Chains A and B, each alone.
Chain A
């Protein structure tokens, strides 16, 4: 009798419970990633180091134009990493280890998994952007109106989304061991070709043509536009590119996901 009664009482579940699952999943994701020095350290250190070397030390002291310009480009470079590696390597590893299968069997809403990883990338992006802001303002003499600081934060934090989607495509298709190499092969050349390390006009002309095809280029142009640095092309075009790029990646990821779901 008792067991029959128990069997019926388990069906209550509200949106609050679902929200709780999303938040706990994100918190768990963030907490475990923070304990992974191989992820957290390079993700936070590389962009700040690069910015210090090329934006602050390399430029003429007191030249706040370079420091301001590179805040946008190294900011873009910085926020790509947690998105690309978090999804690309994270999903590939968890898929290979059977963790994904366990989560699919447990009553976890699949979107909670994606939400957690996307939120983790955004939080890391926020920390990276704030680190660069402090460095730029204190040592590079970067001074921006408050509205531009805010807009830049928003652009770079939400700018993780296209790269999260791209990382997901990698994570769904590539095995765990290969994933780090593949992500690096996407991340580093893309950063260079999009003009994140060295401004585009200093690249050979024939190399400059690749930039327009890359999401990193369009995000960095958006960021440059916000701070009234030397941006090319209309804002709407960059935004449209990023939205379409994200949608295409998600479609590819869903197709790949369907294929591996039926094991």
Chain B
């Protein structure tokens, strides 16, 4: 009730708007289509993971939301405003991929500078602690190790105590310990009700942190669900063998989502490879050159897109 009383009328529309939203966003770079019509809404207080292979369009999606690039078609909004709007950005923090922090500033000076851009920044010591940089506060930025640079990028993203936080591949290049610290800090921010968008190509990371996972592939959203939903889809195996069975016989086996033939080889993607194999070996004792591997993320989701298009067709 207190919170509602604290709202002034002018604040209402902004308060009601989603922290971040893409609407039919298309982004082309010349002939390359990086985003092919994406709808995405980040809900207040959720940790959303954008999952997908390299080049899927995750970073482009974030760039549109940060105002680093403009959609060719469609819209990008932060708190109901244009991403370049400075008032909207004062509520946003971002950790970009690949910025090389150098120069002759010290860690604490750089954090202080970025903190000063925000109306209610975290105390310096708190930012240093969350990022695990207490021991490096006085070091020149140029002398930091790769992992420490990554932590500093995280520190600069959170120093303004933003309501909305973008983390683009935050743990790339981090060792296990650094990753653990960052995950803990991200969980802490989530518990305080921050909205967080994280991109990653590790399912493990998305699973460990996210409330919701959106899978992007070739610039499109191909799955959107809880980590449990997504894991079920991804936990598929690829069976590769030479068999005399035809597609009609295989497709009816339990849990088979995809069949591909090239030459005499047959590739099968299935949720329960044991059951499929047991049945196949019974039907075709001559089956040979058998290989079972984890389906790559892309393959797992290819079957998913085929499922959805099959449903639409039906």
Q: Residue B314 at the A interface, CB < 8 A?
A: no
Assuming the A-B contacts A17-B119, A25-B113, are A35 and B156 also in contact, with contact meaning beta carbons closer than 8 angstroms in the complex?
no
Flag if B89 contacts A106 (CB, 8 Å). yes
In residues 5-50 of chain B, which contact A (Cβ within 8 Å)?
6-8, 11, 14-15, 45
As a 0/1 sequence over residues 242 to 253 of chain A, the CB contacts with chain B under 8 angstroms (1 = contact) are 000000000000
What is the minimal beta-carbon distance from B48 to any residue of chain A, in angstroms? 17
Interface residue tally for chain A (C-beta within 8 Å): 38
From the candidates A8, A31, A101, name the one contacting B109 in the complex (CB within 8 A): A31
Q: Residue A32 at the B interface, CB < 8 A?
A: yes
The A interface, classified by DSSP as helix, strand, loop or mixed, is: helix
Q: Residue B99 at the A interface, CB < 8 A?
A: yes
Interface residues on chain B, size class: 35 or more
Q: Residue B288 at the A interface, CB < 8 A?
A: no
Flag if B86 contacts A109 (CB, 8 Å). yes
By a CB distance below 8 angstroms, the chain A residues around B112 are 24
Flag if B156 contacts A36 (CB, 8 Å). no
Q: Nearest chain-A residue to B194 (Cβ)? A: A3
A1 CA to B156 CA, complexed, in Å: 27
In residues 81-100 of chain B, which contact A (Cβ within 8 Å)?
86-87, 89-94, 96, 98-100
Q: Nearest chain-A residue to B110 (Cβ)? A: A28
Flag if B119 contacts A97 (CB, 8 Å). no
Flag if B68 contacts A101 (CB, 8 Å). yes
What is the minimal beta-carbon distance from B86 to any residue of chain A, in angstroms? 5
Flag if B113 contacts A7 (CB, 8 Å). no
From the candidates B68, B94, B101, B120, name the one contacting A9 in the complex (CB within 8 A): B120
Flag if B113 contacts A97 (CB, 8 Å). no
Q: Residue B296 at the A interface, CB < 8 A?
A: no
A98 CA to B99 CA, complexed, in Å: 4
Flag if A7 contacts B90 (CB, 8 Å). no
Flag if B116 contacts A32 (CB, 8 Å). no
Flag if A106 contacts B87 (CB, 8 Å). no
The B interface, classified by DSSP as helix, strand, loop or mixed, is: loop
Flag if B7 contacts A97 (CB, 8 Å). no
A4 CA to B14 CA, complexed, in Å: 12
Q: Nearest chain-A residue to B90 (Cβ)? A: A107
Q: Residue B233 at the A interface, CB < 8 A?
A: no
Flag if B87 contacts A11 (CB, 8 Å). yes
Q: Residue B63 at the A interface, CB < 8 A?
A: yes
By a CB distance below 8 angstroms, the chain B residues around A108 are 117
Q: Nearest chain-A residue to B163 (Cβ)? A: A7
By a CB distance below 8 angstroms, the chain A residues around B163 are 6-7, 10
By a CB distance below 8 angstroms, the chain B residues around A28 are 105, 109, 113
Flag if B87 contacts A98 (CB, 8 Å). no
Q: Nearest chain-B residue to A12 (Cβ)? A: B119
Q: Residue B203 at the A interface, CB < 8 A?
A: no
Flag if B2 contacts A106 (CB, 8 Å). no
Q: Residue A5 at the B interface, CB < 8 A?
A: yes
Flag if B192 contacts A21 (CB, 8 Å). no
From the candidates B3, B66, B117, name the one contacting A2 in the complex (CB within 8 A): B3
Q: Nearest chain-A residue to B120 (Cβ)? A: A10
As a 0/1 sequence over residues 95 to 108 of chain A, the CB contacts with chain B under 8 angstroms (1 = contact) are 00111011011111
As a 0/1 sequence over residues 106 to 144 of chain B, the CB contacts with chain A under 8 angstroms (1 = contact) are 000100111011111000000000000000000000000
Q: Residue B67 at the A interface, CB < 8 A?
A: yes
Q: Nearest chain-A residue to B99 (Cβ)? A: A98
Q: Nearest chain-A residue to B191 (Cβ)? A: A3
By a CB distance below 8 angstroms, the chain B residues around A102 are 94, 96, 99, 153, 156
A53 CA to B138 CA, complexed, in Å: 42
Assuming the A-B contacts A13-B90, A105-B96, A263-B68, are A36 and B104 also in contact, with contact meaning beta carbons closer than 8 angstroms in the complex?
yes
In residues 11-34 of chain A, which contact B (Cβ within 8 Å)?
11-13, 17, 20-21, 24-25, 28, 31-33
By a CB distance below 8 angstroms, the chain B residues around A12 are 119
Q: Residue A262 at the B interface, CB < 8 A?
A: yes
Flag if B69 contacts A263 (CB, 8 Å). yes
What is the minimal beta-carbon distance from A115 to any residue of chain B, in angstroms? 14
A14 CA to B7 CA, complexed, in Å: 20
Flag if B102 contacts A97 (CB, 8 Å). yes
A28 CA to B68 CA, complexed, in Å: 24
Q: Residue B70 at the A interface, CB < 8 A?
A: yes
Q: Residue B173 at the A interface, CB < 8 A?
A: no
Assuming the A-B contacts A1-B3, A13-B90, A20-B116, are A35 and B11 also in contact, with contact meaning beta carbons closer than 8 angstroms in the complex?
no
What is the minimal beta-carbon distance from B25 to any residue of chain A, in angstroms? 14
Q: What are 20 contact pairs spanning A and B, CB under 8 A?
A: A1-B1, A1-B3, A4-B3, A5-B2, A5-B6, A6-B193, A8-B6, A8-B8, A8-B11, A13-B87, A13-B119, A31-B105, A97-B99, A97-B101, A97-B102, A98-B100, A102-B96, A105-B92, A106-B89, A106-B156
Known A2-B3, A8-B7; 14 more pairs at CB < 8 Å:
A5-B6, A6-B163, A7-B15, A8-B11, A12-B119, A13-B87, A24-B113, A28-B109, A31-B105, A32-B105, A35-B104, A101-B96, A105-B89, A106-B89
